[in-house]
Structure 1
Amino acid sequence: MKFSLRRDAIVAERPMMLEQAVSVVREGSGPEVVLVHGGAGPTTTWAGLESLRARWTLTSVYRRGFPPSPPPVDGSQDFEVDADDIAAVISDTCPHVVAHSYGTLGTLIAAARRPDSVRSLTIIEPPLYFVAGDDPLVARLRQLGDTVLSDGLDTDTARLREFLTLVGSPVADGQPLPAGAVAAVRRAHGGRLPGEARPRLEPIRAHGVPVLVASGGHAPALERICDGLAGVVDAQRVVTPGAGHFVPAAPGFAERLERFLASV
């Protein structure tokens, strides 16, 4: 079932005039779990969570630039725009929210504005560099990510392959980039850099929002970011290896997520 949600009036730190709403798809039955993907689309990102539909309503948000949602505002991905879109989806229902990669930035901004609008948060491998201090591995990840977002497919081949490996799309030397990776790089090109994101995390902790921070154990830089975020928001922490950056597909993750959701 597909829904297109019209944006309600929202008090935001940076008000947006979003005439076209993003699309969502709802599947399953039971309490609502809103899913916010990152640089890959919902089908790829949330593979592995299908079993939850028996007991939960999974609401997949299609971020701007991912059909059937409209194109990005001004042609570029922006986590502040994402925050307004996410706030419109969650404002009336107070759902659980699960977010992945770039999608975590808008999710955390929206939740910080109104922590009473979410029942819980699950944050999966966020590019939230500032919570890891001056860690050199995190600095390297940020540099790679900034380069790819700025230069797109013109990024130096070795750097592009290194970045794709870190975000779950490894490419063997001498092999062409998969079509999905090419599409993802093109969509991200010119987007707002994750390093600019500074969501106010204190309101989330102060309100007592239950938080689960998850990672896949495949990249030390992402592990350190997740450890840092978990400490700031007093989150539960889980490492589920086996699927790289696409943690929802890792063996046992769906069961671990469901235990967390049911505990709230």
Structure 2
Amino acid sequence: MTSLRHDFSHTPSEYLHSHLLELVQLHKIYPDAITNHGPYYNYILADEDGYKMEMTTDGDYPNFRGLEKEEGRWVEIFVVEIERTYPCFQPTSSPFRLNASRCTQVRIIEALNSRLFLDFKSIHEIPRMHWRDLRYPIDTMGVVFNTEAYLDAPSGPRMEFYIRDNIDHQIKCVVTGDQVYAIRDGLDYMSGGGRRQVIVALKMWRVWNLCYFGPPEIWLETEGGFADFRFNARFPEVEEFTQSLLNSDPYVQKNGVEGLV
């Protein structure tokens, strides 16, 4: 079983050549470039402890065609190169990145593919995060309110909304591009025309923290193509959050709740 944190963190530089990953999840898949044969993709891998590492591909390799449809699956990866990352915004906090080649093989482990992983941060935790951790995407969830869509904005479609938890903390979320339409339609459907409270779980969104004068302004934003959300309320963390809302939130008790994941 591979630990993405420990298997590489103590590896001398002269041994950072190739590796076997015995059990990792294709946590997030997003397009990186377009070639004559179509797009090829980058992959965010997660191990059983939730530690994440990026794997890039430098070409439209036959062994990877169709793998973009397997997000969330657990796999073994054979013969992948390891390199150090640069000190800038990265999709993961790992100091290493994996680079797949034509020799890389990926095998799906069917027996494990009912297992899912999201590393949820509570909304009230986000303003207290260390500045180093703000360089990497996070997962979080909350009840949606105050939604505004700007479909004709000069810079492209944009949506802003807020999410809150069950102890009255909130944070702004900003969506851009095609995801605006997807999340707008999803919210309309799940809320039943505004009659129900909706829980949104956000996967790999970037935290922005700006402070010019006065208190800092903090918000979440889609970034780099890997931010996501899904329509599925079966994660244990979401079910636990939903139950806590039903026990303590008067708006949810009155109007009901739907899960948007």
TM range (shorter): under 0.3
Q: Which has the larger radius of gyration?
A: 2
Q: Please identify which structure carries the higher helix content.
A: 1
Q: TM-score, normalised by structure 1?
A: 0.24
Q: Which has the higher contact order (CA 8 A, sep 6+)?
A: 1
